[in-house]
């Protein structure tokens, strides 16, 4: 069985060079919630060097909160925000000899798109402009918005705790983050076998990101999974 291991990169957290040899897909920041043009280009060049598939990782223009504060934008504004970021990353990736293969919203935009059909529809409309698959939580509004329009890739998180309904525990709540690689490995196994995820995320800004990625990669390989990008 194939499984993808992805990380959120290009955000200036300092782990990109160590994570890229370990992952099969990179969700590259589009420059509004974090990162910058030179930083993003550097991450893209490293992805090209290591043969890592690249996806666009658009978020809210909210550097102070790392794109993790929810915003409520009118439809034209939110659509333009997404299109602007996808087009920018596509241009830089092309210049680096890469093609963008999918879209995964970042932070608050991801969470809102997974539960709010209006936000999901706008994210999918932007992705459909480029005909790119969309990554999100299984059973979410984002998955529903993709139906009959774009391929949807169900994702699980190695370093975030889950509620019983399959949503993520908000970062504002205690114990929202998993800090133990062994617990992360157990959660990943559960996500693959019981939630049907095809890609596993390690957050690139997690101080334990490199340890998590190594532990998960080793555990999956030991169980016979083949690590391979989904796109």
Q: Could you count the other beta carbons within 10 Å of the beta carbon of residue 89?
A: 26
CATH of the domain at 118: 3.20.20.370
Q: Measuring CA to CA, which residue among 202, 1, 215 is closest to residue 104? A: 202
Beta-bridge mates of residue 152 = 134
DSSP 13-73: SS-HHHHTTT-SEEEEE-SSSS--HHHHHHHHHHHHHHT-EEEEE---S-GGGTT-S----
pLDDT of 119 reads: 98
C-alpha dihedral over 203, 171, 123, 28, to 10 degrees?
-20
How far, in Å, CA of 6 to CA of 22, rounded? 9
- Structural domain of residue 119, as residue ranges? 2-227
Residues, the chain = 231
Q: Considering its fold, how many domains does the chain have in total?
A: 1
pLDDT of 1 reads: 87
Q: Report CA 77 to chain centroid distance, whole Å.
A: 22
Q: Could you count the other beta carbons within 10 Å of the beta carbon of residue 172?
A: 7
User: pLDDT tens, position by position, for the chain (231 residues)?
Assistant: 899 999 999 999 889 999 999 999 999 999 999 999 999 999 999 999 999 999 999 999 999 999 999 999 999 999 999 999 999 999 999 999 999 999 999 999 999 999 999 999 999 999 999 999 999 999 999 999 999 999 999 999 998 899 888 888 988 888 888 888 888 889 999 999 999 999 999 988 888 889 889 999 999 999 899 999 998
pLDDT of 207 reads: 81
**What are φ and ψ of residue 228, in 5° steps?**
-155, 140
pLDDT of 176 reads: 87
What pTM was estimated for this model as a whole?
Answer: 0.95
């Amino acid at each position: 069985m194939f499984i993808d291991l992805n990380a959120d990169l290009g955000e200036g957290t300092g782990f990109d060079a160590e994570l890229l040899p370990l992952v099969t897909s990179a969700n590259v920041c589009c420059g509004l919630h974090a990162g910058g043009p030179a930083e993003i280009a550097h991450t893209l060049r490293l992805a090209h060097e290591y043969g890592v598939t690249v996806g666009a990782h658009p978020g809210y223009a909210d550097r102070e909160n790392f794109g993790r504060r929810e915003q409520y934008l009118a439809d034209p504004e939110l659509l333009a925000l997404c299109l602007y970021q996808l087009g920018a990353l596509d241009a830089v990736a092309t210049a680096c000899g890469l093609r963008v293969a999918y879209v995964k919203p970042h932070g608050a935009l991801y969470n809102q798109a997974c539960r709010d059909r209006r936000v999901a529809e706008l994210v999918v409309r932007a992705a459909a402009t480029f005909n790119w698959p969309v990554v999100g939580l299984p059973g979410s509004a984002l998955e529903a918005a993709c139906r009959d329009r774009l391929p949807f890739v169900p994702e699980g998180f190695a370093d975030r705790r889950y509620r019983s309904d399959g949503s993520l525990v908000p970062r504002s709540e205690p114990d929202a983050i998993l800090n133990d690689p062994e617990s992360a490995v157990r959660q990943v196994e559960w996500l693959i076998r019981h939630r049907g995820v095809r890609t596993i995320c390690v957050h690139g800004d997690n101080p334990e990101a490199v340890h998590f990625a190594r532990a998960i990669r080793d555990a999956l390989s030991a169980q016979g999974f083949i690590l391979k990008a989904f796109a």
